[in-house]
Amino acid sequence: MSKFTRLYLRVPQPTTLFGCISLQTGTELISLALVFNKVTGVYGLLAILTGYQLSLLQLSTYVYSIGVLGLLIFLIPHIRRQSPFECLALAWVYILDACINAAYTAAFGLDWYFHSTATDSETRPSGLTSTVMESIEGLKKESAIHGKVVPQETAMSMIFIVAVTLIRVYFSLVVMAYARQALQKYMQLMIMEGPGVDDYDGPFALDLPDGEGRRGRLGRVMVSFGRTYWLGHLEDNGWSGNTSNRQRKANEPGTLAGEV
């Protein structure tokens, strides 16, 4: 079972974006696209100045978008620097946003399904991408015109929504792959130059410089979910083992870091 899991249930690890763009550039493009999507949260809050009353759900989506936008502004410059902590945090931000976005898509899709005669005067939440919301609004217009759901338009819109969701999943895998690459390069550098790498918490172990303070605690939390994915490269290349053993072997003559 373990061999089957290792071979067939492993998380996909893309090496490029669409087969032609490097992971670094792809991660930058994906992050910038998310920035443009979250900017709508700023314009959504401006609706309050016009006297428009926002529901609690709408207000929460706008505040959430602004919060994600602030994190992206802080984390994106670290993509080129290949900072392991920030790249890992960016991956988790994108993963969580994709999950929340999928939940909003399902919620508002069901809302449309059960209230297909609703008017178009509702303010669309910024938590959803514009393309997904245009599809849902298209379904609402068709329902208002024809009085019921039009099968062909419904099928096409649903297929489009599913396609957009699958693209978000693929983008998540790309951002994760780049964060994993940056983290493992940093760990290899630590093995070569010291003080070594912990085989459980990676560079965020308590006895390592990157494991100190809040950053260290947050780093250990982030690698604890999917530890075999983020740190699996240690085992695949014989890097596992305690820190002192790795450091001793790295310093032996004729032995390269990562060799057993």
Question: For the ranges 126-130, 153-157, 210-214, which has the lowest average pLDDT?
Answer: 126-130
Model confidence pLDDT, tens digit, residues 42-87 = 777 777 777 777 777 677 778 888 899 999 999 999 999 999 999 9
Who contacts 167 (Cβ-Cβ below 8 Å, separation ≥6)?
Answer: none
Three-state secondary structure call for residue 198: strand
Residue 126 pLDDT exceeds 50: no
Residue 227 pLDDT exceeds 60: yes
Greatest Cα pair distance in the chain: 80
d(CA 251, CA 194): 9
Rg (CA), the chain: 23
Model confidence pLDDT, tens digit, residues 4-43 = 445 445 778 888 899 889 999 999 999 999 999 888 777 7
Residues 133-138 have a mean pLDDT of: 58
d(CA 89, CA 49): 34
Contact 136, 73 (CB under 8 A): no
Residue 252 pLDDT exceeds 70: no
**Element of type H or E holding 22:** strand 21-22
Question: Residue 19's CB: how many other CB atoms inside 10 A?
Answer: 7
pLDDT for the residue numbered 24: 93
* Angle formed by the axes of helices 213-224 and 84-114, nearest 10°: 60
